Structures are given as structure tokens and as C-alpha cells.
Chain A
Amino acid sequence: DGGITQSPKYLFRKEGQNVTLSCEQNLNHDAMYWYRQDPGQGLRLIYYSQIVNDFQKGDIAEGYSVSREKKESFPLTVTSAQKNPTAFYLCASGLRAGGTYEQYFGPGTRLTVT
């Protein structure tokens, strides 16, 4: 089965703890992305990566970190510095389409921090 997997589906953490969200794709896409979605809001870009060992900050990178050691994997760490981490996190991979990328999303991880 080709696709994007995110785990876990639901994640609960105490305030002050770092937490890592997993994202794996077997679509052989070069680009990968992390978004955050809050109720009533669109998707906001956290980080993205075009190639292995390279990534760029998105619009709301503060309090998050990523790595891209393998083409298939792009884990996101939500650090204790993120002031409001409770949200729905979406990972996507990108297929080159003309001058942009078609993005294909995983099922998401719902993080709750108390």
C-alpha cells in the first residue's frame, strides 16, 4: 500500500515534556511538510523539507524541531517551548507538478497537552 502514515493517532502529554510525532511515506516523494490545524482555522505550515538533511522553517516554526535523515521519514518534535501545543498535526508529502508541489496528507495526529 502506498501512502503516508502518521503515528500515533492520539497523543497525550503533560506540559513541559517534549514529544515526537512520526511521519513516514512510501510514495518516493522528495518533499515533506508539517502543518498544524486548529479549530476553525486553515492549515499553518510549521516546517518543510525538499531533500534529505535539509529543511526550512514555515510560518510557525517556533517551539518545533524536525529532522530529515531519510527520504521516507520526517519526524516532528514539539518542544516545551511551544506555548500552545494542543492541536491536530498533519504531515504531507509533495509530488512535483509544474512549478509547485501537489501535497498528499497523512491521517493526522491529535496532540493534547495538559
Chain B
Amino acid sequence: QKEVEQDPGPLSVPEGAIVSLNCTYSNSAFQYFMWYRQYSRKGPELLMYTYSSGNKEDGRFTAQVDKSSKYISLFIRDSQPSDSATYLCAMSAAGRRALTFGSGTRLQVQP
């Protein structure tokens, strides 16, 4: 079983919709959570970084962590066609130098 699970999609939504992207994990030591956006044939771009449980908002993006359920989410409000990409979650435990990545969810926002 993978440490981090992520639905591969594709997830197709109309422009303007609220998008919910999710990851579950099995390692209770994970404390640091990140979301990356990756356009086709490009390197991933860091979108959000959160520590422990709670919410963090940045513009149209909100990251949510529920450590009791081992579940993290990324919400995108007012989705745009330019948001069409693969979204990767990543996480690590304290003192771990490397991140563990989910396999990514492909999002398509239809104009």
C-alpha cells in the first residue's frame, strides 16, 4: 500500500466551479503538507504549504489538513481553464529531508 493515495482523475469541471482535490495518507508522522501544480511536460510548481492541521488560504486556493482522518484537500474557487493541470500532494515528517508525493490528479476545466 502506498503511503500517499491520490485519485488520478481526470476530474472535469466547468469554468467557475469549485474544485476539490484530495489525498489520504497512512503515516501518522506526517506533519508538513504541500500542493504542487504541474502543467504538461513542465516541472511542478509549489502552490501551498501547510503545517499540521487547519486551513490556509491564498487567493482562490485553500488547503485543508485533517490529521485525525489523515486526509488533506485543496480547494480551487472560481476555477479557470488555466487551472487545467495535474495537482500533486506531497508531505513529510519532521526531520525527514525528502517529500513523499501522491501520484497526482489531472484536472480539466472546461470553458
Contacts and interface: CB of A to CB of B under 8 A. Distances in A.
A2 interface: no
A110 B6 CA distance: 24
Nearest to B36: A105
Interface stretch (A12-20, A68-76, A79-87, A95-103): A95-103
Count class of interface residues, chain A: 20 to 34
Interface in B64-111: 88, 90, 92, 94-99, 101-104
Interface in A22-36: 31, 33, 35
B8 A40 contact: yes
A108 B41 contact: yes
B31 interface: yes
B60 interface: no
A27 B82 CA distance: 27
A58 interface: yes
B42 A43 contact: no
Q: Is the interface of A mostly helix, strand, loop or mixed?
A: strand
Nearest to A101: B97
Residue of A43, A56, A94 with highest tally of chain B CB at under 10 A: A43
B46 interface: yes
Contacts of B90: 43, 103
B34 interface: yes
B40 to A, nearest CB: 11
B94 to A, nearest CB: 4
Contacts of A97: 32, 49
Contact of B98 (A48, A99, A102, A110): A48
Interface of A: 4, 6, 31, 33, 35, 40-43, 45, 48, 50, 56, 58, 88, 90, 92, 94, 97-108, 110
Interface of B: 4, 6, 8, 31-32, 34, 36, 41-46, 49, 51, 88, 90, 92, 94-99, 101-104
Given A100-B96, A101-B99, 7 more contacts: A33-B98, A42-B6, A42-B88, A43-B88, A103-B34, A105-B36, A107-B42
